[in-house]
Amino acid sequence: MVSIGSLILLLALLILFHQNANATKGYQLRTLERERSRLLLEEEVLKMQIAQAQALQELEEDLLIQAMFPAGKLQYTNQKSTVAELAR
């Protein structure tokens, strides 16, 4: 009778440990899923900020670009020789 009781107690402890391990894994999985969702949202925000920074209107309003002035008299060459050959 004692052996059956101890066997039931041992099986109950094993079930308890197994359930505890499953609960811990489920908690870790939910935590990782929340972290993944947060990171995906952060990635989308960063992509939107990159797109906004590269927008034409943003570039037109940039102070550094506004400080540039157009080049004066442009002269294009049609020569087929290289710059090194011209320096001789």
Domain boundaries of the chain, sorted by first residue: 2-66
Quick one: tokens of 52?
Answer: 């906004």
DSSP symbol at 20: H
In this predicted structure, the answer to whether residue 86 has a pLDDT above a threshold of 70 is no
DSSP symbol at 73: S
Four-residue CA torsion sign, 11, 13, 19, 24: negative
Tens-place pLDDT, residues 24-52: 999 999 999 999 999 999 999 999 999 98
In this predicted structure, the answer to whether residue 74 has a pLDDT above a threshold of 90 is no
Four-residue CA torsion sign, 54, 58, 61, 63: negative
SS3 call for 55: coil
